[in-house]
Amino acid sequence: MNVPGGIDIHVLMDAACNDQDIAAGLMRLFFELTGQEQARLAAAVAQGNPASASAVAHKVAGSCASCGMSGLAARFRELEHLCKVAIPDDISGRLRAIDHEMQENRAGLEMYFNCSLSP
Amino acid sequence: MKSILLIDDDQFVTTLYKAKLQSEGFEVNAAHNGNEALEKLGQSRPDVIVLDLNMPGITGAELLKAIRAVPLWQHIPVIVFSSGYIKALVEETTKLGVHKFFAKAQCPPKMLISEIKDLLSKMTSAESHLPADAEAAPEALTIDDIPALLELFTASEDPAMLHTVLLKIYKASRDYITRALEANDGTVQGQLGHALEKLFEDLYAHPEHITESTKHTLAAGLRKLGRIDAEKSKPALESELALKGLLRSLED
């Protein structure tokens, strides 16, 4: 079964003791928590608070890396570093790209696990 | 059963590793900030700590400093597992004794799990060569922990951290205070015991009253009480030693 290119399914399955139910449960939690963090990130950007945006991006980068989402981890890490200086001018595009990849990963994993990953 | 304390503000990371480590047969606790970590450490001493450096409030480095200040926790191996290497934090934690550093981005879960298992198996092997009584570590805070805790209390500025350390100082000095409260109110020991008990209550209920001056008063009061306590127990110790000497001479 194919999963989106930005996910290393072996990392995820290994973390989940090769159990599909555990992996799906972890992913459900992942999408719930990162959804909240993405909202915090958007709020930090709207308030023009780069330090807070950087801290949120840092946290989500770690979550993404831990479950094999290396593509998203790299996007968040880059954003973390940029926000240490200032909120980048192309922030809207970056957030859209992150959101798009997040949805793509979610749809791919829902097909892979054959279940909904909604909380 | 060997136990692990995971300290990370990311609930997803702690959930993922908790499930995986539990499936490997370990007892796992998770804390999502520095204060929660100190609480969990106070409840039971883990065999290994996995620590994130970049956390809101008390950072991993500050937390490690607090952990190393308590004798009971001084030698717990700590593995740093963090999203990014912030040079200053890494340098600070290295000085405080870190077993290994792992960057989340370059460390798939199995790498960290394998390191933890390896470390714990080495510890088990080392422990099997110890005499039975050497393994027994006191779980509670004692009077001996007071100097390090007072040092930490005096150096801390974070209100939440001060609150937690204050509680630990109170627990560690409970023997002093109890003995002082049992002493006659007319004695310096009795008066000091009551004053310190009141000061602890006040500072715990109103941490905003913790200032440089109240920190100094508490530290000075506890040191004085410690000296009085030691002086008072000296004659008892001396007569006990004299009695033992007499018994030995009678046996001879």
* pLDDT for res B158: 66
Q: CA nearest B11 in A: which residue?
A: A33
Chain B residues touching residue A63 (CB < 8 angstroms): 10, 12-13
Q: Is residue B97 domain-shared with residue B209, that is, in the same domain? A: no
Alpha-carbon B240 to chain mean position: 33
Residue owning tokens 């989940």: A16
Q: Is residue B123 domain-shared with residue B7, that is, in the same domain? A: yes
What long-range pairs does B191-198 form, CB within 8 A, spacing at least 24?
Answer: B192/B221, B192/B224, B192/B225, B192/B228, B193/B225, B195/B221, B196/B221, B196/B222, B196/B225
In angstroms, what CA-CA distances link A38 with A102, B73, B226? Answer: 10, 37, 53
- B171 — pLDDT class (breaks 50, 70, 90): confident
Q: Is residue B61 domain-shared with residue B152, that is, in the same domain? A: no
In the predicted model, what is the mean pLDDT of chain B?
80
| CB-based contact, B104 to chain A, within 8 Å | yes
From B99, B118, B135, give the residue that closes a domain: B135
Chain B residues touching residue A73 (CB < 8 angstroms): 105
Most confident of A42-46, B214-218, B247-251: A42-46
Q: Is residue B103 domain-shared with residue B12, that is, in the same domain? A: yes
Q: Is residue B105 domain-shared with residue B180, that is, in the same domain? A: no
Question: What percent of chain B is modeled with pLDDT above 90?
Answer: 16
Q: CA nearest A15 in B: which residue?
A: B109
Structural domains of chain A ordered from first start: 9-111 (1.20.120)
Q: Is residue B168 domain-shared with residue B244, that is, in the same domain? A: yes
Closest-CA distance of chain A to residue B71, Å: 32
Task: Say yes or no for a CB contact (<8 Å) between A34 and B12.
Answer: yes
- Reduce the secondary structure of B127-156 to three states and give it as a string: HCCCCHHHHCCCCCCCHHHHHHHHHHHHHC
Q: Is residue B198 domain-shared with residue B233, that is, in the same domain? A: yes
Chain A residues touching residue B111 (CB < 8 angstroms): none
| CB-based contact, A85 to chain B, within 8 Å | no
Task: Say yes or no for a CB contact (<8 Å) between B12 and A11.
Answer: no
Chain A residues touching residue B82 (CB < 8 angstroms): 62
| Half-sphere exposure of residue B155: CA atoms within 13 angstroms, side-chain side | 11
What's the domain count of chain B? 2
From B135, B165, B182, give the residue that closes a domain: B135
- B136 — pLDDT class (breaks 50, 70, 90): very low
Task: Kindly tell me if the per-residue pLDDT of A58 is higher than 60.
Answer: yes
* pLDDT for res B7: 96
CA A64 – CA A31 distance, rounded (Å): 10
CA A66 – CA A104 distance, rounded (Å): 18
Q: Closest partner residue to A63 among B12, B23, B84, by Cβ?
A: B12
Query: Where in the sequence is the domain holding B70, given as residue range(s)?
Result: 3-135
Q: What is the pLDDT of residues A70-100, one digit of tens each?
A: 999 999 999 999 999 999 999 999 999 999 9
Regarding predicted confidence, which is higher, B29 or B133? B29
Q: Is residue B124 domain-shared with residue B238, that is, in the same domain? A: no
Mean pLDDT of B165-176: 81
Q: Which three-class secondary structure state does DSSP give residue B239?
A: helix
Amino acid type, B244? K
Using an 8 Å Cβ cutoff, are B103 and B136 in contact? no
Q: Closest partner residue to A15 among B20, B82, B104, by Cβ?
A: B20
Q: Lowest mean pLDDT of A53-67, A95-109, B194-208, B217-231, name the range.
A: B194-208
Q: Closest partner residue to A15 among B10, B16, B104, by Cβ?
A: B16
Q: Which three-class secondary structure state does DSSP give residue B173?
A: coil
Q: Select from A66, A67, A102 the residue whose CB has the most chain B CBs within 10 Å, as the one to mutate to test that interface.
A: A66
The CA R_g of chain A, rounded to the nearest whole Å, is 14
Task: Say yes or no for a CB contact (<8 Å) between A66 and B12.
Answer: yes
* pLDDT for res B162: 75
Q: What is the pLDDT of residues B86-121, one digit of tens each?
A: 677 777 778 888 888 888 877 888 889 999 998 888
Q: Is residue B121 domain-shared with residue B22, that is, in the same domain? A: yes
Task: Say yes or no for a CB contact (<8 Å) between B83 and A77.
Answer: yes
Q: Closest partner residue to A66 among B13, B56, B84, by Cβ?
A: B13
Q: Is residue B123 domain-shared with residue B19, that is, in the same domain? A: yes
Q: CA nearest B13 in A: which residue?
A: A63
Task: Kindly tell me if the per-residue pLDDT of B133 is higher than 50.
Answer: no
Using an 8 Å Cβ cutoff, are A67 and A27 in contact? yes
Q: Which of B47, B50, B49, B51 is nearest to B2 (CA)?
A: B47
What is the ipTM metric for this complex? 0.80
- B134 — pLDDT class (breaks 50, 70, 90): very low
Regarding pTM above 0.80, the answer is no
Q: Is residue B131 domain-shared with residue B150, that is, in the same domain? A: no
Task: Kindly tell me if the per-residue pLDDT of A112 is higher than 50.
Answer: yes
Instruction: Tokens for B154, please give them.
Output: 């005096």
CATH classification of the domain holding B65: 3.40.50.2300
| CB-based contact, A93 to chain B, within 8 Å | no
Tally of CB atoms within 10 A around B144: 11
From B102, B135, B168, give the residue that closes a domain: B135
* pLDDT for res B252: 63
* pLDDT for res A2: 63
Q: Which residues pair with B48 in a beta bridge?
A: B4
Q: Is residue B16 domain-shared with residue B130, that is, in the same domain? A: yes
Task: Kindly tell me if the per-residue pLDDT of B73 is higher than 60.
Answer: yes
